[in-house]
Amino acid sequence: LIGPSSFITEMRPYAFAQIDRIKDDLKSRGVDVIDFGVGDPTSPTPGIVRTACKEALDRRATSGYPSYQGSDEFRASAASWFHRRFGVELDPEGELTATIGSKQAIFMLPLAYVNPGDTVLVPDPGYPPYTTGARARQGGCHYLPLEEDRDFYPDLGGIPGRVSSRAKILWVNYPNNPTTKIASSSFLKEAVDFCSDNDVLLASDEAYSELYYDEKPGSVLSIEGAEEVSLVFNSLSKRSSMTGHRIGFVAGRKELLDPFKKVQTQSHSGAATFIQDGAVAALSDETHVEELRREYREKRDLLVKTLEDIGSDGVYAEATFYIWAKAPGGMGSLEFSQKLLSDAHVNTVPGRALSQDTGAGDRFVRFAMVPSLEETREACIRIQKMEI
C-alpha cells in the first residue's frame, strides 16, 4: 500500500462537516441558501485591472518564466503604494518580493525559519496555514486564544518561558480574521518588543489592511523597532477583489527576507507576469477600493443591526469583510450556525470550526459579507423572523 505522509494523515478534519451536509441538502432541494461562509469576494475585479491584464498578454507575446521576486514594475509599484499608505520606505530591490497570493507564502515561511521541534506562536481562532506550515516542518504550535474579555488580543505576557525560548515565529493578523479587530499601535509595539526580546520573527499577515470603515489600520512595519524583527504579508486578493489572480507580496529587511526568497526559488516559479501588470494597475488606483469599502459598509450596517435586534450582545465589525457575532440566547456557535441555516437558510461559519484547540470562538459565528447587497437585505429579513 502506498500510504500518505503523517502530514496528511494527521491533518485535522473539518470539524463541522454537518453544517456543510445541511447546506448541501437544502441546496439539492432547490432552497435558496444565502452563503456568508467562505471569505471569497463575489464583486467583479475592477475593470482597470482586467484591461491591464489583457493588454499585458499581447504586449508580452513571449512568455518566459517570471522573475522569482516579481517584475521591477510590480516591486516598484508595491513599494510606492506601501510608502503612500503606511509612510514606510522599502527598497524594491531587496526589501520586497512578489508572492502567488499570501496563502502559499504563509504556508512556506516556516521552511525558511523553523527546524523540527521549534515552536510557532499562532492566534486561535486563526488562518489554518499558520498551523499547517509549522506542522509541515515538524514544528509545534503554541496557540494564543483571542478572547472577547481580552479585547481579542493574545496574551503575550502570559507565554511561558519554556515556550518563548523555543519559539521562532509569532503570527499576528490585523485587521483580524475572524474577530475583525484592528490592532492598537501599543499592542503592535508589545509584539515587536516580545519578538526582539526573544529572538522571534514577527510575521504580520496584513491581508485585510484595506478593508476598514473608520479607523485606518497601520502596518507593523511602521512601529518603532519592527524592521529588525518583522516580515509583512500583504495581498491584492481582498483589496482589489483579486482572489483568482493570486498575487501579493512580502516586505521586510533584506536579511530577514532573503531566506524566504530562497524558499520561493524552490517552491514555485514566480507570479504570472501579466497578473503582476494587473496588480500594478490595481495599486495605482484607490477609487475602486473606496467603492468596495462603501459596499461592505452598507452590508455591515444592515447585518449588525439585525444581529443586535435578535439579541446578540457582542457583534464585532471593526474592519475586514467579516462580522464576528456572539450567539444570542446562550447558544453555542454550532447551534446558532445550524439554526441560521435551517430556519433562515443563511450559511455562516461556526467559530468553533475556525479554532484549533483553545475553544476560543466557541460562542461566535462568522459572516463573510460576500453575498450581494440585495441578498444581504433578504438574509436580514429572514434572520429577523427567526425565533430565538
Q: Of 79, 200, 207, 315, which one interacts with ligand PLP (CB under 6 A)?
A: 207
Q: Does 243 bind ligand PLP (CB under 6 A)?
A: yes
- DSSP structural state of residue 149: G
Q: Find the shortest distance in angstroms from Cβ 175 to ligand PLP.
A: 9
Q: Find the shortest distance in angstroms from Cβ 80 to ligand PLP.
A: 20
Q: Does 103 bind ligand PLP (CB under 6 A)?
A: yes
List the grid coordinates of 348.
Answer: 455562516
Q: Does 204 bind ligand PLP (CB under 6 A)?
A: no
**Contact between residue 131 and residue 122 where contact means Cβ atoms under 8 Å apart:** yes
Q: Find the shortest distance in angstroms from Cβ 130 to ligand PLP.
A: 9
Greatest distance between any 2 Cα atoms in the chain = 61
Q: Find the shortest distance in angstroms from Cβ 203 to ligand PLP.
A: 11
Q: Does 237 bind ligand PLP (CB under 6 A)?
A: yes
Q: Of 41, 139, 154, 248, which one interacts with ligand PLP (CB under 6 A)?
A: 248
Q: Find the shortest distance in angstroms from Cβ 20 to ligand PLP.
A: 18
Comparison of 69 and 243: residue with beta carbon closer to ligand PLP: 243
Q: Of 235, 264, 273, 333, which one interacts with ligand PLP (CB under 6 A)?
A: 235
Stretch that binds ligand PLP, among 58-66, 69-77, 99-107, 215-223 (CB under 6 A): 99-107
Strand order across the beta sheet in which 364-368 lies: 315-316, 322-326, 364-368, 349-350
Q: Of 164, 173, 276, 376, which one interacts with ligand PLP (CB under 6 A)?
A: 173
Comparison of 92 and 248: residue with beta carbon closer to ligand PLP: 248
Distance, CA of 137 to CA of 193 (rounded, Å): 26
Q: Of 46, 101, 278, 371, which one interacts with ligand PLP (CB under 6 A)?
A: 101
List the grid coordinates of 114.
Answer: 523553523
Comparison of 139 and 248: residue with beta carbon closer to ligand PLP: 248
Total residues contacting ligand PLP by CB under 6 A comes to 13
Region label for 163, one of left (φ > 0), alpha (ψ between -120 and 50) or beta (otherwise): alpha
3-state class of 176 per DSSP? coil
Query: How does strand 167-173 pair with strand 119-124?
Result: parallel
Comparison of 97 and 338: residue with beta carbon closer to ligand PLP: 97
Q: Of 35, 95, 147, 205, which one interacts with ligand PLP (CB under 6 A)?
A: 205
Q: Of 71, 102, 164, 356, which one interacts with ligand PLP (CB under 6 A)?
A: 102
List the grid coordinates of 69.
Answer: 521576486
Provide the mask over 113-142, with x wherever binding to ligand PLP is found by CB under 6 A and - wherever it is not.
--------------x---------------
Q: Find the shortest distance in angstroms from Cβ 207 to ligand PLP.
A: 4
Q: Which long-range contacts (CB under 8 A, 24 or more apart) does 145-151 make?
A: 145/358, 145/359, 145/360, 146/176, 146/179, 146/181, 146/360, 146/361, 147/360, 148/314, 148/326, 148/363, 151/181
Comparison of 237 and 337: residue with beta carbon closer to ligand PLP: 237
Stretch that binds ligand PLP, among 11-19, 96-104, 139-147, 162-170 (CB under 6 A): 96-104
Q: Does 264 bind ligand PLP (CB under 6 A)?
A: no
3-state class of 315 per DSSP? strand
Q: Does 39 bind ligand PLP (CB under 6 A)?
A: yes
What is the full DSSP assignment across 205-252?
A: E-TTTT-BSSSPP--GGGSTTGGGTEEEEEEHHHHTT-TTT--EEEEE
Give me the phi and psi of 255, to 5 degrees please: -65, -30
Stretch that binds ligand PLP, among 95-103, 131-139, 253-261, 324-332 (CB under 6 A): 95-103
Residue type (1 letter), 293:
R
In 10 A of CB 24, how many CB atoms?
A: 11
Omega cis (within 30) before 350: no
Omega cis (within 30) before 178: yes
| Footprint on this chain of ligand PLP (rule: CB under 6 A) | 39, 101-103, 127, 173, 177, 205, 207, 235, 237, 243, 248
